[in-house]
Chains A and B, each alone.
Chain A
Amino acid sequence: MARIAAFLALMLMAGPAAADDISPDRAVRLEHLVLQDCGSCHGLTRKGGLGSPLTREALGGADPHAIAGIILDGLPGTAMPPWRPLLTETEALWIANYLLEEPAK
Protein backbone atom coordinates (compact mmCIF):
# COMPACT_ATOMS: atom_id res chain seq x y z
CA MET A 1 0.00 0.00 0.00
CA ALA A 2 2.78 2.36 0.90
CA ARG A 3 4.29 1.84 -2.50
CA ILE A 4 0.98 2.59 -4.25
CA ALA A 5 0.50 5.67 -2.10
CA ALA A 6 3.97 6.86 -2.98
CA PHE A 7 3.27 6.26 -6.67
CA LEU A 8 -0.01 8.17 -6.46
CA ALA A 9 1.74 11.01 -4.66
CA LEU A 10 4.33 11.11 -7.43
CA MET A 11 1.60 11.16 -10.07
CA LEU A 12 -0.19 13.98 -8.28
CA MET A 13 3.03 15.93 -8.16
CA ALA A 14 3.81 15.18 -11.79
CA GLY A 15 0.49 16.42 -13.15
CA PRO A 16 0.35 20.01 -11.94
CA ALA A 17 4.12 20.34 -12.14
CA ALA A 18 4.06 19.48 -15.84
CA ALA A 19 1.51 22.19 -16.55
CA ASP A 20 3.27 24.78 -14.40
CA ASP A 21 6.58 24.19 -16.13
CA ILE A 22 5.25 25.37 -19.49
CA SER A 23 5.05 29.13 -19.76
CA PRO A 24 2.03 30.60 -21.59
CA ASP A 25 4.38 31.78 -24.33
CA ARG A 26 5.85 28.30 -24.75
CA ALA A 27 2.34 26.78 -24.75
CA VAL A 28 1.40 29.00 -27.69
CA ARG A 29 4.48 27.81 -29.56
CA LEU A 30 3.80 24.16 -28.75
CA GLU A 31 0.21 24.49 -29.95
CA HIS A 32 1.56 26.00 -33.16
CA LEU A 33 3.98 23.08 -33.49
CA VAL A 34 1.15 20.56 -33.08
CA LEU A 35 -1.04 22.34 -35.60
CA GLN A 36 1.56 23.09 -38.27
CA ASP A 37 4.44 20.62 -37.93
CA CYS A 38 2.72 17.55 -36.48
CA GLY A 39 -0.02 18.55 -38.93
CA SER A 40 2.35 17.89 -41.86
CA CYS A 41 1.78 14.18 -41.37
CA HIS A 42 -1.20 13.98 -39.02
CA GLY A 43 -3.33 16.71 -40.66
CA LEU A 44 -4.26 20.17 -39.40
CA THR A 45 -7.48 18.66 -38.09
CA ARG A 46 -5.49 15.70 -36.68
CA LYS A 47 -7.52 13.25 -38.75
CA GLY A 48 -4.35 11.62 -40.01
CA GLY A 49 -2.34 11.43 -43.19
CA LEU A 50 0.89 9.55 -43.57
CA GLY A 51 0.72 9.50 -39.75
CA SER A 52 -2.17 8.07 -37.78
CA PRO A 53 -5.14 10.16 -36.60
CA LEU A 54 -4.52 12.11 -33.39
CA THR A 55 -8.03 13.24 -32.53
CA ARG A 56 -9.25 12.75 -28.97
CA GLU A 57 -11.52 9.99 -30.22
CA ALA A 58 -8.69 8.22 -32.08
CA LEU A 59 -6.45 8.34 -29.02
CA GLY A 60 -9.29 6.92 -26.92
CA GLY A 61 -8.03 8.07 -23.55
CA ALA A 62 -4.56 6.59 -23.92
CA ASP A 63 -2.01 7.11 -21.14
CA PRO A 64 -0.45 10.55 -21.69
CA HIS A 65 2.93 9.21 -20.59
CA ALA A 66 2.75 6.53 -23.30
CA ILE A 67 1.92 9.19 -25.90
CA ALA A 68 4.75 11.39 -24.61
CA GLY A 69 7.06 8.38 -24.96
CA ILE A 70 6.12 7.95 -28.62
CA ILE A 71 6.62 11.68 -29.23
CA LEU A 72 10.06 11.58 -27.62
CA ASP A 73 11.34 8.32 -29.08
CA GLY A 74 9.34 7.90 -32.28
CA LEU A 75 8.02 4.63 -33.64
CA PRO A 76 10.80 2.62 -35.29
CA GLY A 77 9.76 1.12 -38.61
CA THR A 78 7.37 3.99 -39.29
CA ALA A 79 7.80 7.62 -40.41
CA MET A 80 7.28 8.89 -36.83
CA PRO A 81 10.61 10.47 -35.83
CA PRO A 82 11.92 10.89 -32.29
CA TRP A 83 11.34 14.47 -31.13
CA ARG A 84 13.70 14.16 -28.15
CA PRO A 85 16.32 16.32 -29.88
CA LEU A 86 13.78 19.15 -30.08
CA LEU A 87 11.46 18.72 -27.08
CA THR A 88 11.88 18.20 -23.34
CA GLU A 89 9.96 15.46 -21.52
CA THR A 90 7.75 18.13 -19.94
CA GLU A 91 6.94 19.56 -23.34
CA ALA A 92 6.14 16.12 -24.78
CA LEU A 93 3.80 15.46 -21.87
CA TRP A 94 2.16 18.86 -22.41
CA ILE A 95 1.56 17.90 -26.07
CA ALA A 96 0.17 14.48 -25.04
CA ASN A 97 -2.28 16.08 -22.66
CA TYR A 98 -3.15 18.71 -25.26
CA LEU A 99 -3.99 15.98 -27.79
CA LEU A 100 -6.13 14.15 -25.21
CA GLU A 101 -7.97 17.24 -24.02
CA GLU A 102 -8.22 19.76 -26.86
CA PRO A 103 -10.72 19.11 -29.63
CA ALA A 104 -9.15 19.39 -33.07
CA LYS A 105 -9.74 22.72 -34.79
Chain B
Amino acid sequence: MTLIAPLSRRVVVGLAATAMLALAAAPVRAETPCCATGDLGLIVERATGSLVVVDQSERAAIGRIEGLGDLSHASLVYSPDERYAFVFGRDGGLTKVDILAQTVVKRVVQAGNSIGGAISDDGRLVAVSNYEPGGVRVFDTDTLDMVADIPTGSKTVGLVDAPGRRFVFSLWDAGETWIADLSGPMPKITKLTGIGTNPYDGLITGDGRTYIAGLFGEDGLVRIDLWAEEPEPRRILPHYGRGREKLPVYKMPHLEGWALAGDQFVLPAVGQHEVLWMDARDFREVARTPTHGQPVFAMARPGGRQVWVNFAHPLNDTIQVIDSQSHEIVHELKPGPAVLHMEFTARGTEVWVSVRDADRVDVYDAATFEKLGEIAAKSPSGIFFTARAHKIGL
Protein backbone atom coordinates (compact mmCIF):
# COMPACT_ATOMS: atom_id res chain seq x y z
CA MET B 1 0.00 0.00 0.00
CA THR B 2 2.68 2.42 -0.96
CA LEU B 3 0.07 4.92 -2.10
CA ILE B 4 -1.29 5.35 1.40
CA ALA B 5 1.95 6.52 2.97
CA PRO B 6 2.12 10.00 1.45
CA LEU B 7 -1.57 10.79 1.96
CA SER B 8 -1.82 14.13 3.61
CA ARG B 9 -4.67 15.45 5.68
CA ARG B 10 -6.20 17.37 2.80
CA VAL B 11 -6.50 14.16 0.80
CA VAL B 12 -8.18 12.41 3.72
CA VAL B 13 -10.52 15.35 4.13
CA GLY B 14 -11.11 15.21 0.40
CA LEU B 15 -11.86 11.53 0.61
CA ALA B 16 -14.29 12.09 3.46
CA ALA B 17 -16.03 14.79 1.49
CA THR B 18 -16.10 12.55 -1.56
CA ALA B 19 -17.58 9.72 0.49
CA MET B 20 -20.32 12.00 1.87
CA LEU B 21 -21.12 13.31 -1.58
CA ALA B 22 -21.13 9.80 -2.93
CA LEU B 23 -23.54 8.65 -0.21
CA ALA B 24 -25.83 11.53 -1.01
CA ALA B 25 -25.67 11.31 -4.77
CA ALA B 26 -24.62 7.92 -6.11
CA PRO B 27 -23.36 4.52 -5.06
CA VAL B 28 -19.66 4.43 -4.17
CA ARG B 29 -17.69 2.80 -6.91
CA ALA B 30 -15.28 0.30 -5.47
CA GLU B 31 -12.68 1.02 -8.14
CA THR B 32 -12.57 4.77 -7.46
CA PRO B 33 -8.86 5.54 -7.06
CA CYS B 34 -7.66 6.82 -3.74
CA CYS B 35 -5.66 9.76 -5.03
CA ALA B 36 -5.29 12.25 -7.78
CA THR B 37 -2.27 12.22 -10.10
CA GLY B 38 -1.84 15.95 -10.69
CA ASP B 39 1.28 16.27 -8.59
CA LEU B 40 2.77 12.89 -9.41
CA GLY B 41 5.53 12.11 -11.86
CA LEU B 42 7.77 9.37 -13.21
CA ILE B 43 11.55 9.13 -13.23
CA VAL B 44 13.26 6.83 -15.73
CA GLU B 45 15.85 4.48 -14.25
CA ARG B 46 17.71 3.93 -17.47
CA ALA B 47 19.97 1.00 -16.58
CA THR B 48 17.39 -1.15 -14.82
CA GLY B 49 14.39 -0.69 -17.08
CA SER B 50 12.24 0.73 -14.31
CA LEU B 51 10.32 3.89 -13.35
CA VAL B 52 10.16 5.57 -9.95
CA VAL B 53 6.75 7.04 -9.16
CA VAL B 54 7.21 10.34 -7.33
CA ASP B 55 4.95 12.71 -5.41
CA GLN B 56 5.90 16.34 -6.05
CA SER B 57 4.23 17.73 -2.93
CA GLU B 58 5.90 15.18 -0.67
CA ARG B 59 9.16 15.34 -2.63
CA ALA B 60 9.26 11.57 -2.24
CA ALA B 61 9.24 8.33 -4.16
CA ILE B 62 6.00 6.43 -3.67
CA GLY B 63 6.70 3.33 -5.71
CA ARG B 64 8.51 1.67 -8.58
CA ILE B 65 7.28 0.10 -11.82
CA GLU B 66 9.56 -2.54 -13.34
CA GLY B 67 9.94 -4.59 -16.49
CA LEU B 68 10.14 -1.89 -19.18
CA GLY B 69 13.15 -3.19 -21.12
CA ASP B 70 16.05 -1.05 -22.37
CA LEU B 71 15.34 2.48 -21.17
CA SER B 72 18.53 4.13 -22.37
CA HIS B 73 17.24 7.28 -23.98
CA ALA B 74 13.67 6.66 -22.85
CA SER B 75 10.89 9.21 -22.79
CA LEU B 76 7.19 9.16 -22.06
CA VAL B 77 3.91 11.01 -22.53
CA TYR B 78 0.75 11.13 -20.44
CA SER B 79 -2.89 10.37 -21.15
CA PRO B 80 -5.26 13.37 -20.87
CA ASP B 81 -6.56 12.09 -17.50
CA GLU B 82 -2.96 11.92 -16.20
CA ARG B 83 -3.46 8.36 -15.08
CA TYR B 84 -1.54 6.50 -17.75
CA ALA B 85 1.92 6.99 -19.18
CA PHE B 86 3.17 5.67 -22.50
CA VAL B 87 6.86 4.89 -22.25
CA PHE B 88 9.12 4.73 -25.30
CA GLY B 89 12.16 2.50 -24.79
CA ARG B 90 15.29 2.22 -26.86
CA ASP B 91 14.53 -1.44 -27.63
CA GLY B 92 11.35 -0.56 -29.53
CA GLY B 93 9.19 -1.25 -26.49
CA LEU B 94 6.02 0.78 -26.05
CA THR B 95 4.71 0.32 -22.53
CA LYS B 96 1.48 1.65 -21.04
CA VAL B 97 1.71 2.04 -17.29
CA ASP B 98 -0.92 2.90 -14.70
CA ILE B 99 0.49 5.47 -12.29
CA LEU B 100 -2.12 4.91 -9.59
CA ALA B 101 -1.91 1.12 -9.59
CA GLN B 102 1.84 1.32 -10.29
CA THR B 103 1.63 -1.48 -12.81
CA VAL B 104 2.38 -2.21 -16.44
CA VAL B 105 -0.98 -2.30 -18.24
CA LYS B 106 0.35 -3.47 -21.57
CA ARG B 107 3.65 -3.68 -23.39
CA VAL B 108 4.38 -4.21 -27.07
CA VAL B 109 7.74 -4.34 -28.82
CA GLN B 110 6.81 -2.44 -31.93
CA ALA B 111 10.19 -1.98 -33.61
CA GLY B 112 13.85 -2.89 -33.21
CA ASN B 113 15.12 0.48 -32.10
CA SER B 114 13.22 3.60 -31.04
CA ILE B 115 13.96 7.17 -30.07
CA GLY B 116 10.80 8.78 -28.74
CA GLY B 117 7.11 9.38 -29.12
CA ALA B 118 4.13 11.68 -28.85
CA ILE B 119 0.44 11.53 -28.00
CA SER B 120 -2.23 13.08 -30.23
CA ASP B 121 -4.08 16.19 -29.07
CA ASP B 122 -7.25 14.14 -28.48
CA GLY B 123 -5.36 11.50 -26.50
CA ARG B 124 -6.50 8.68 -28.78
CA LEU B 125 -3.27 7.95 -30.61
CA VAL B 126 0.30 7.46 -29.52
CA ALA B 127 3.07 7.64 -32.13
CA VAL B 128 6.59 6.24 -31.87
CA SER B 129 9.59 7.31 -33.95
CA ASN B 130 11.94 4.50 -34.86
CA TYR B 131 15.51 4.12 -36.01
CA GLU B 132 15.03 0.51 -37.05
CA PRO B 133 12.97 0.08 -39.15
CA GLY B 134 13.09 3.82 -39.84
CA GLY B 135 9.72 5.51 -39.59
CA VAL B 136 6.77 6.25 -37.34
CA ARG B 137 4.19 3.80 -36.06
CA VAL B 138 0.92 4.93 -34.54
CA PHE B 139 -1.07 3.03 -31.90
CA ASP B 140 -4.47 3.19 -30.26
CA THR B 141 -3.97 4.42 -26.68
CA ASP B 142 -6.60 2.04 -25.29
CA THR B 143 -5.38 -1.18 -26.84
CA LEU B 144 -1.87 -0.41 -28.16
CA ASP B 145 -3.04 -1.93 -31.46
CA MET B 146 -1.20 -0.42 -34.42
CA VAL B 147 -3.42 1.87 -36.49
CA ALA B 148 -0.87 3.33 -38.92
CA ASP B 149 2.61 2.47 -40.14
CA ILE B 150 4.58 5.28 -41.80
CA PRO B 151 7.94 3.97 -43.06
CA THR B 152 10.42 6.72 -43.92
CA GLY B 153 13.49 4.73 -44.94
CA SER B 154 15.49 6.88 -42.53
CA LYS B 155 16.25 7.13 -38.85
CA THR B 156 13.35 9.23 -37.65
CA VAL B 157 13.73 11.88 -34.94
CA GLY B 158 12.08 14.97 -33.47
CA LEU B 159 8.55 13.53 -33.33
CA VAL B 160 5.97 15.91 -31.84
CA ASP B 161 2.19 16.18 -31.70
CA ALA B 162 0.51 19.06 -33.52
CA PRO B 163 -3.09 20.26 -33.25
CA GLY B 164 -5.64 18.50 -35.45
CA ARG B 165 -4.50 14.94 -34.76
CA ARG B 166 -1.23 15.54 -36.54
CA PHE B 167 2.33 14.41 -35.87
CA VAL B 168 5.44 16.12 -37.18
CA PHE B 169 8.85 14.42 -37.40
CA SER B 170 12.20 14.64 -39.19
CA LEU B 171 14.40 12.24 -41.10
CA TRP B 172 18.03 12.12 -39.92
CA ASP B 173 19.41 10.47 -43.06
CA ALA B 174 17.19 12.12 -45.67
CA GLY B 175 17.05 15.69 -44.31
CA GLU B 176 13.26 15.91 -44.53
CA THR B 177 10.39 16.86 -42.23
CA TRP B 178 7.05 15.09 -42.61
CA ILE B 179 3.65 16.15 -41.34
CA ALA B 180 1.28 13.22 -40.80
CA ASP B 181 -2.40 14.14 -40.52
CA LEU B 182 -4.39 11.35 -38.86
CA SER B 183 -7.69 13.19 -38.56
CA GLY B 184 -9.20 11.21 -41.47
CA PRO B 185 -9.62 7.51 -42.16
CA MET B 186 -6.22 7.33 -43.91
CA PRO B 187 -3.06 9.16 -42.84
CA LYS B 188 -2.29 12.13 -45.05
CA ILE B 189 1.44 12.80 -45.32
CA THR B 190 3.03 16.11 -46.32
CA LYS B 191 6.74 15.76 -47.07
CA LEU B 192 9.05 18.77 -46.82
CA THR B 193 12.37 17.96 -48.48
CA GLY B 194 15.77 19.58 -48.34
CA ILE B 195 15.44 20.94 -44.81
CA GLY B 196 19.18 20.49 -44.13
CA THR B 197 21.78 17.87 -43.27
CA ASN B 198 21.07 15.46 -40.42
CA PRO B 199 18.22 16.94 -38.37
CA TYR B 200 18.87 15.58 -34.84
CA ASP B 201 15.73 16.64 -32.93
CA GLY B 202 12.67 18.84 -33.22
CA LEU B 203 10.34 20.93 -31.12
CA ILE B 204 6.90 22.47 -31.47
CA THR B 205 5.90 25.64 -29.67
CA GLY B 206 3.14 25.49 -27.06
CA ASP B 207 0.71 27.19 -29.44
CA GLY B 208 1.23 24.44 -32.00
CA ARG B 209 2.37 26.85 -34.66
CA THR B 210 6.12 26.58 -35.10
CA TYR B 211 8.15 23.40 -35.60
CA ILE B 212 11.90 23.81 -35.29
CA ALA B 213 14.41 21.12 -36.24
CA GLY B 214 18.04 21.35 -35.17
CA LEU B 215 20.68 20.32 -37.68
CA PHE B 216 23.74 18.29 -36.77
CA GLY B 217 25.31 18.28 -40.22
CA GLU B 218 25.44 22.02 -40.73
CA ASP B 219 25.35 25.30 -38.81
CA GLY B 220 21.76 26.38 -38.40
CA LEU B 221 18.24 25.24 -37.69
CA VAL B 222 15.07 25.13 -39.73
CA ARG B 223 11.59 26.37 -38.84
CA ILE B 224 8.25 25.44 -40.30
CA ASP B 225 5.09 27.53 -39.85
CA LEU B 226 2.35 24.94 -39.37
CA TRP B 227 -0.32 27.64 -39.67
CA ALA B 228 0.68 28.29 -43.29
CA GLU B 229 -1.55 26.95 -46.07
CA GLU B 230 1.50 25.30 -47.55
CA PRO B 231 4.12 24.91 -44.83
CA GLU B 232 7.68 25.24 -46.04
CA PRO B 233 11.08 24.98 -44.35
CA ARG B 234 12.93 28.22 -43.66
CA ARG B 235 16.51 28.34 -42.41
CA ILE B 236 17.12 30.13 -39.12
CA LEU B 237 20.33 31.08 -37.32
CA PRO B 238 22.41 30.16 -40.37
CA HIS B 239 26.15 29.80 -39.91
CA TYR B 240 26.02 30.36 -36.16
CA GLY B 241 29.37 28.60 -35.88
CA ARG B 242 30.82 31.26 -38.21
CA GLY B 243 33.55 29.03 -39.49
CA ARG B 244 34.76 28.09 -36.02
CA GLU B 245 35.75 24.48 -35.75
CA LYS B 246 32.99 22.35 -34.25
CA LEU B 247 34.04 20.60 -31.05
CA PRO B 248 33.48 16.85 -30.75
CA VAL B 249 29.84 16.25 -29.74
CA TYR B 250 29.72 13.57 -27.04
CA LYS B 251 26.00 14.01 -26.42
CA MET B 252 23.34 15.24 -28.83
CA PRO B 253 21.43 18.31 -27.63
CA HIS B 254 17.67 18.03 -27.11
CA LEU B 255 14.94 20.35 -28.31
CA GLU B 256 11.51 20.72 -26.72
CA GLY B 257 8.83 23.36 -26.48
CA TRP B 258 10.40 24.87 -23.37
CA ALA B 259 12.86 26.59 -25.71
CA LEU B 260 10.50 29.56 -25.76
CA ALA B 261 11.40 32.00 -22.96
CA GLY B 262 9.04 34.94 -23.17
CA ASP B 263 9.52 36.47 -26.60
CA GLN B 264 12.77 34.66 -27.36
CA PHE B 265 13.81 31.15 -28.21
CA VAL B 266 16.83 29.76 -26.40
CA LEU B 267 18.60 27.06 -28.38
CA PRO B 268 21.70 24.92 -27.84
CA ALA B 269 24.56 25.49 -30.30
CA VAL B 270 25.80 22.14 -31.59
CA GLY B 271 29.52 21.62 -31.02
CA GLN B 272 29.97 24.98 -29.28
CA HIS B 273 30.01 26.07 -25.66
CA GLU B 274 27.12 28.47 -25.99
CA VAL B 275 23.37 28.93 -26.18
CA LEU B 276 21.77 31.04 -28.87
CA TRP B 277 18.94 33.55 -28.32
CA MET B 278 16.52 34.21 -31.15
CA ASP B 279 13.64 36.67 -31.42
CA ALA B 280 10.41 34.66 -31.55
CA ARG B 281 8.75 37.09 -34.00
CA ASP B 282 11.35 37.59 -36.70
CA PHE B 283 13.58 34.57 -35.94
CA ARG B 284 16.75 36.64 -35.91
CA GLU B 285 19.59 36.07 -33.48
CA VAL B 286 19.54 38.56 -30.63
CA ALA B 287 22.34 37.27 -28.40
CA ARG B 288 24.48 34.34 -27.45
CA THR B 289 25.68 33.29 -24.02
CA PRO B 290 29.02 31.48 -23.57
CA THR B 291 28.46 28.48 -21.32
CA HIS B 292 30.39 25.95 -19.21
CA GLY B 293 30.15 23.24 -21.89
CA GLN B 294 28.08 22.09 -24.84
CA PRO B 295 24.42 22.51 -23.86
CA VAL B 296 22.19 19.43 -23.90
CA PHE B 297 18.96 20.83 -22.46
CA ALA B 298 18.28 24.57 -22.38
CA MET B 299 14.97 24.78 -20.52
CA ALA B 300 13.00 27.91 -19.79
CA ARG B 301 11.52 28.00 -16.31
CA PRO B 302 7.72 28.24 -16.72
CA GLY B 303 7.16 31.96 -17.22
CA GLY B 304 10.43 32.23 -19.12
CA ARG B 305 12.35 34.46 -16.68
CA GLN B 306 15.38 32.15 -16.45
CA VAL B 307 16.77 29.31 -18.47
CA TRP B 308 18.47 26.28 -16.91
CA VAL B 309 21.14 24.54 -18.95
CA ASN B 310 22.95 21.22 -18.50
CA PHE B 311 25.93 19.99 -20.49
CA ALA B 312 27.40 17.14 -22.49
CA HIS B 313 29.94 14.63 -21.27
CA PRO B 314 32.55 15.19 -19.80
CA LEU B 315 31.41 18.58 -18.43
CA ASN B 316 28.10 17.17 -17.25
CA ASP B 317 28.38 17.79 -13.50
CA THR B 318 27.20 21.38 -13.81
CA ILE B 319 24.03 23.41 -14.36
CA GLN B 320 24.03 27.08 -15.28
CA VAL B 321 21.07 29.40 -14.86
CA ILE B 322 20.82 32.24 -17.39
CA ASP B 323 18.68 35.37 -17.06
CA SER B 324 16.53 35.66 -20.18
CA GLN B 325 16.61 39.44 -20.18
CA SER B 326 20.31 40.13 -19.65
CA HIS B 327 21.47 36.79 -21.15
CA GLU B 328 23.97 36.65 -18.28
CA ILE B 329 24.67 33.57 -16.20
CA VAL B 330 23.21 34.34 -12.79
CA HIS B 331 23.91 31.08 -10.99
CA GLU B 332 25.89 27.88 -11.30
CA LEU B 333 25.24 24.59 -9.53
CA LYS B 334 27.35 21.43 -9.30
CA PRO B 335 24.77 18.79 -8.40
CA GLY B 336 27.15 15.88 -9.06
CA PRO B 337 28.35 13.48 -11.74
CA ALA B 338 26.31 13.16 -14.94
CA VAL B 339 23.41 15.61 -14.69
CA LEU B 340 21.15 14.20 -17.40
CA HIS B 341 17.82 15.97 -17.13
CA MET B 342 15.80 18.66 -15.38
CA GLU B 343 12.06 19.06 -14.91
CA PHE B 344 10.18 22.06 -13.54
CA THR B 345 7.06 21.80 -11.47
CA ALA B 346 4.14 23.12 -13.51
CA ARG B 347 4.36 26.70 -12.28
CA GLY B 348 8.12 26.75 -12.05
CA THR B 349 8.57 26.82 -8.28
CA GLU B 350 10.91 23.86 -8.16
CA VAL B 351 13.27 22.10 -10.51
CA TRP B 352 14.09 18.43 -10.17
CA VAL B 353 17.48 17.29 -11.44
CA SER B 354 18.62 13.75 -12.22
CA VAL B 355 22.22 13.05 -11.23
CA ARG B 356 22.81 9.74 -12.93
CA ASP B 357 26.11 8.65 -11.43
CA ALA B 358 25.10 9.66 -7.91
CA ASP B 359 21.92 7.55 -8.22
CA ARG B 360 19.94 10.52 -7.02
CA VAL B 361 17.38 13.14 -8.04
CA ASP B 362 17.85 16.54 -6.38
CA VAL B 363 15.06 19.02 -5.78
CA TYR B 364 15.91 22.73 -5.94
CA ASP B 365 13.94 25.87 -5.25
CA ALA B 366 13.97 27.48 -8.70
CA ALA B 367 14.00 31.01 -7.27
CA THR B 368 16.53 30.76 -4.42
CA PHE B 369 18.50 27.73 -5.75
CA GLU B 370 18.26 26.22 -2.27
CA LYS B 371 18.34 22.43 -2.29
CA LEU B 372 15.05 21.18 -0.89
CA GLY B 373 15.45 17.43 -1.02
CA GLU B 374 16.86 14.28 -2.55
CA ILE B 375 15.24 11.16 -3.93
CA ALA B 376 17.15 7.91 -4.47
CA ALA B 377 16.88 6.45 -7.97
CA LYS B 378 19.09 4.02 -9.90
CA SER B 379 20.89 5.75 -12.82
CA PRO B 380 18.08 8.28 -13.23
CA SER B 381 17.60 10.03 -16.55
CA GLY B 382 14.34 11.63 -17.69
CA ILE B 383 11.96 13.18 -15.13
CA PHE B 384 8.36 13.63 -16.28
CA PHE B 385 5.64 15.38 -14.28
CA THR B 386 2.02 14.68 -15.19
CA ALA B 387 1.33 18.34 -16.04
CA ARG B 388 2.90 17.51 -19.41
CA ALA B 389 -0.42 15.84 -20.25
CA HIS B 390 -1.91 19.20 -21.07
CA LYS B 391 0.88 20.75 -23.09
CA ILE B 392 1.27 20.64 -26.85
CA GLY B 393 4.58 19.09 -27.78
CA LEU B 394 5.26 17.39 -24.45
Mark A residues whose CB is within 8 Å of B. 32, 35-37, 39-41, 43-45, 47-50, 74, 79, 81-83, 85-86
Contacts and interface: CB of A to CB of B under 8 A. Distances in A.
A50 B155 contact: yes
15 contacts: A39-B72, A40-B252, A43-B72, A43-B91, A44-B70, A47-B90, A47-B91, A47-B112, A48-B132, A49-B115, A50-B131, A50-B252, A83-B248, A83-B250, A86-B314
B200 to A, nearest CB: 8
A54 to B, nearest CB: 13
Given A36-B338, A36-B379, A44-B46, A49 B248 contact: no
B113 A49 contact: yes
A49 B70 CA distance: 12
A43 B90 contact: yes
A34 to B, nearest CB: 12
B291 interface: no
Interface size class of B (residues with CB under 8 A): 20 to 34
Q: What is the interface of chain A mostly: helix, strand, loop, or mixed?
A: loop
A47 B216 CA distance: 22
Nearest to A85: B248
A32 B200 CA distance: 25
A45 B250 contact: no
A10 B14 CA distance: 77
A48 B131 contact: yes
A12 to B, nearest CB: 33
Contacts of A50: 115, 131, 155, 172, 200, 252
Closest 7 pairs between A and B when the two form their complex, measured CB to CB: A81-B248, A44-B72, A39-B72, A37-B313, A45-B70, A82-B248, A43-B90
Given A49-B113, A50-B131, A50-B172, A44 B249 contact: no
B250 A81 contact: yes
Given A37-B250, A79-B198, A85-B248, A44 B90 contact: yes
A43 B113 CA distance: 9
Contacts of B113: 43, 47-49
